[in-house]
Chain A
Amino acid sequence: MIVAEVKPMDEIQDTLKKYSKVLITGCGSCVTVCLSGGAQQVEVLASSLRTARKQEGTPLEVGEETQVRQCDPMFIEQIRDKAAGYEAILSMGCGAGVQTMAETLGNIPVYPALDTVFFGGADGKGGFVELCAACGQCILSRTGGICPVARCAKSLTDGPCGGAQDGNCEVDKDTRCAWQLIYARMMRLGQLHLLKEITPPKAARVHPARLKREE
């Protein structure tokens, strides 16, 4: 899923300071799962903003909405009429959601409430961890299902640097060295021989990428 986190409250308040009527929109997809931008977070943020602005003496009227998915114009169309009654929209979708909303609604400013940080999964401890870098050239078949592009601090594809200490990355002592994990997994799978093959450097991505579907 796409993982995002709520921006610092000061930054959000600064973005909204010139408005008096704002619609906060949540997204029912990835950011709901990672507890950053679902209906519940919309409610909490709306309440915090109302309280803060009331204390400042510049009350803010805040509407709340949550779409099934913000990255699809079809779902955004459903709030077109409601959105027209507000000065601005504060989206709690990921970067793709914010942009789709801004593009679809056109004449109303749409601001991000979240920082989109990575593609990942649950870490089993209530948090989330980056697992995929969307590089477009998947090598997981040769690395035991552990991605060194996303999980090695240097995205090395030919083996580790010499920097791991006690099994942990030199950049972050709480992160296991991806290449040590790969070695252990490949040993269990009886596939260590695959690690001896030299991996050619990947082709750089050209943005924006597209996925076309035939009719």
Chain B
Amino acid sequence: MGFREAVESGKFLITAEVGPGKGTDMEELLEDAQAVKDRIHAINVTDLQSSVMRLGSLAVSHILADRGIEPIYQLTCRDRNRLALQSDLLSAWVLGIQNVLALTGDNPVLGDHPDSKPVFDCDSVSLLKMIHTLNSGHDMAGNELKGVPDFFPGAVVNPGADAGAGLEMQLIKLEKKIEAGARFIQTQGVFELDSFEKFMKRVEGFNIPVMGGIIMLKSAGMAKFMNKNVAGISVPESQIKAMTDTDDKVKTSVEIASHLVKGMKEMCQGVHIMAIGWEKKIPMVLDEAGL
């Protein structure tokens, strides 16, 4: 069953994520994708994640689609103006890509080419509107398209945003994304089910499938680093301690992730597992969670 069909039929959704590397070597990425493809509905392909220059998400999404692994093409507004965004979307469609995750993109100043000029001609909301416009047979300027795509667009939200103004603005923006055409939502990595449940209560009336983000911990150091540097991520002390004390990091990481998956089964409409190179462990997580 394809991703769109799964979303529309109300199935519990499972997606994973691969990040193209720096260079042309795709061997590991293809192996990772192959290892999870039978257990997931689709796989996200990141677009120069963290503003680090890498192989592009369009080419990799196409190659995965060709191999029968359904991609979710991540597209950011960081490096492309509205001409390039629309053209890349049309290119994606002719290359067999149907799902698009519309993102604003990280600031280049945080990446490995910090002097690069950021574009941000559009943002995630206007990108979603753009996708809707293309799907309707026109470009942003109102010109008619000869040959029309039928993209299935999604968006993201950060449930761990600063309490108060930060979270309230996230929710306002999420509503705009839905109004602009988003059909599914994937969240930033979640580590605590209690706070995620509260977030899900806030979006209950939004009437859109939400997939809880799960980042697989590889070490206590990684957890501490994310707590300090990644907005919205707060790995609880108990998980950091478990990763510190364990003799088998993989086993503990799988236990933490599968506990989150089990909890989310009752709270939201799917999970988005970011294994960051540990994609081969995802089947173990799903087995333990009974999926």
Tell me the B158-183 residues at the A interface (CB within 8 Å). Answer: 158, 161-162, 164-166, 168-170, 172-173, 175-176, 179-180
Rounded to whole Å, the gap between the CB of A25 and the closest CB of chain B is 31
Closest A residue by C-beta to B233: A165
Rounded to whole Å, the gap between the CB of A44 and the closest CB of chain B is 31
Rounded to whole Å, the gap between the CB of A119 and the closest CB of chain B is 19
Residue of B81, B158, B162 most packed against chain A (CB within 10 A): B162
Query: Residues of A with Cβ closer than 8 Å to B?
Result: 153-167, 170-171, 177, 179-184, 192, 195-196, 198-201, 204
Q: List 10 A-B contacts (CB under 8 A).
A: A159-B125, A159-B173, A162-B188, A163-B106, A165-B231, A170-B107, A171-B107, A171-B110, A177-B166, A183-B169
Given A180-B166, A183-B165, A201-B82, CB of A154 within 8 Å of CB of B173? no
Contact B123 A195 (CB under 8 A): no
Contact A162 B158 (CB under 8 A): yes
> Once the chains are docked, how many angstroms separate the CA of A160 from the CA of B171?
10
Closest B residue by C-beta to A200: B126
> Once the chains are docked, how many angstroms separate the CA of A179 from the CA of B171?
13
Q: List the A side residues contacting B158 at CB < 8 Å.
A: 162
Contact with A along B178-214 (1 / 0, CB 8 A): 0110000000100000000000000000000000000
> Once the chains are docked, how many angstroms separate the CA of A170 from the CA of B81?
23
Rounded to whole Å, the gap between the CB of A121 and the closest CB of chain B is 23
Given A162-B157, A162-B161, CB of A201 within 8 Å of CB of B122? yes
Q: List the A side residues contacting B110 at CB < 8 Å.
A: 170-171
User: Contact check: which of B107, B125, B169 meets A198 at CB < 8 Å?
Assistant: B125
Given A165-B231, A198-B176, CB of A160 within 8 Å of CB of B123? no
**B118 on the A face (CB < 8 A):** yes
> Once the chains are docked, how many angstroms separate the CA of A5 from the CA of B110?
25
